[in-house]
Amino acid sequence: MSSVSRRSIPRSLTLDNSYRRSTCRLCEGKRLSNVLSLRATPLANAFVNQEALGSEQPVYPLDVFFCEECGHLQLLDVVDPRVLYQHYVYVSGTSPVFVRHFEQYARNVVERFTPEKGSLVVEIGSNDGTLLRCFKEYHLRVLGVDPAEEITRGTIESGIDAISEFFTPQLARGIRTKHGPASVIAANNVIAHIDDLGSVMVAVRDLLAPHGVFVFEVSYLGDVFEKTLFDTIYHEHLDYHSVIPLEAFFKRWGLELIEVMRVDTHGGSLRGVVQLAGGPRPVDASVAIAMERERELGLDKGDTFRAFAGHIEGIRDELMALLGNLRRTGKRIAGFGAPAKMTTLMYHLELEPDVIDFIVDDSPLKQGLYTPGMHIPVVPTSELYVRRPDYVVILAWNFAPTIVQKHAAFRDAGGHFIIPLPKVEIV
């Protein structure tokens, strides 16, 4: 177990490799209000090995701002994307839930928008090629673009063509010259990660075929608000998207949002479909319906998120009281899952080394490492049955039903699961 004490966890902020922008990322407006301040954290995926345990890790602000001009919620503190993504450790293919999701995703896109066989599908932030592999099953040419060098190398070795670069207008023009226009451009859990989103939209516009579609998935602000999913707020996620500001944003760049739908990934996400402005498809009623629902929820008002901040504090108090009582009675507590959002969750809810002994995770890329800043060890899931903690906090709470079902033997042996969000529950 890590010897890091509560007082020794790094608290200072750093300006290295980061800057604070002064305008809204979508509309470039300057009327920005700080509506929520979470505890500053290290980078969410900055896991360290044993040799680095003696080194302090820099932490960065997690201040959330609301644009009073277009209604967009965002971080203004931007960390250099090369620091974030060149040595990225998350891969989609380790999760059976996401593999099934991408299989359904590809089938839905092919059935709805009927790209011709042999036409090009490009994925921005292609990760390990899980989604592109699904598109390839439909006899489509596929190409991934992702700056994570090690993961992209593995993608290529698995038989999926990929480029280890950031998606820029220059790169898009080069792809079009070499491979032709794209009938589908996909971006899943990536457009919220990009500071210069306008240049990416230029690249999408330049690469898209006249009848093509740009399909994206993002964590949806409506779900973040309604389900208290504040742990999705971390430095990779610069934006917390809703339909009202997005619809206006796409128009600015010669694009048109024609359809939206809610999907259940990451606790609640939005899938949007975009075409070139004046494209062949009518705007679906789902866009107007979603915008009206957002107004009813108050997602277009800064005061809504100021109240949200108070609600988060209530959850922290409830969870800390529960875990404190368990610790005082000698119970051993572990964590399950080490997704990126774990860092925000653990810092803001104070799930520190004197509360959580260790964390189990299925990903070999994280096993043997220590969590960002708090330096709690991450071990294989099999250790759940070797070390036998009394309680396990499911940090990857969006997979809670699958985890609980898969590890029924842990419960049968007397173990308990704690689900921290969207409300504190003991299973």
Token pair, residue 36, equals: 């929520």
**pLDDT band at residue 7 under the 50/70/90 scheme:** very low
pLDDT digits (tens, 9 = 90+) for 365-397: 899 999 999 999 999 999 999 999 999 999 999
Residue 195: the pLDDT is: 94
pTM equals 0.86
Q: Report the percent of the chain where pLDDT is more than 70.
A: 94
Nearest 10 degrees: Cα torsion 188, 288, 286, 261 = 30
As a whole number, mean pLDDT of residues 81-104 equals 72
Contacts of residue 178, Cβ cutoff 8 Å, sequence gap at least 6: none
Report yes or no on 398 lying in a domain: no
- Quote the CA–CA distance of 339 and 247 in Å, as a whole number: 30
Residues sharing a CB contact under 8 Å with residue 301, sequence separation 6 or more, in sequence order: 71
Q: Which CATH number goes with the domain that contains 146?
A: 3.40.50.150
In order, the DSSP letters of 198-249 are HHHHHHHHHHEEEEEEEEEEEEBHHHHHHTT-GGG-STT--EEB-HHHHHHH
Please count the residues of the chain. Answer: 427
pLDDT > 60? residue 170: yes
Q: Is residue 105 part of a domain?
A: yes
Q: What is the pLDDT of residues 291-344, one digit of tens each?
A: 999 999 999 999 999 999 999 999 999 999 999 999 999 999 999 999 989 999
The span from the CA of 324 to the CA of 144, in Å, is: 46
Q: How many CB atoms lie within 10 A of CB 409?
A: 10
- Per-residue pLDDT of 238-286, as tens digits, reads 999 999 999 999 999 999 999 999 998 777 899 999 999 999 999 999 9
Secondary structure class of 72 (helix, strand, coil): coil
Two structure tokens written together for 4? 């890091």
Q: Which of 176, 246, 158, 170 is nearest to 202 (CA)?
A: 170
Q: Could you please report the per-residue DSSP string of 310-371?
A: HHHHHHHHHHHHHHHHHHHTT--EEEE---TTHHHHHHHTT--TTT---EE-S-TTTTT-B-
In a domain, 412, yes or no: no
In a domain, 39, yes or no: no
Q: Cis before residue 422, ω within 30 degrees of 0?
A: yes
Q: Is residue 26 in a domain?
A: no
Domain span at residue 235?
92-303
Q: How many CA atoms lie within 13 A of 199 on its CB side?
A: 10
Q: What is the pLDDT of residues 193-205, one digit of tens each?
A: 999 999 999 999 9
Q: How far apart are CA 291 and CA 286, in angstroms?
A: 9
In a domain, 290, yes or no: yes
pLDDT band at 6 (very low <50, low <70, confident <90, very high): very low
Counting the structural domains of the chain, the total is 1
pLDDT tens-digit map of 115-149: 999 999 999 999 999 999 999 999 999 999 998 88
Residue 309 belongs to some domain of the structure: no
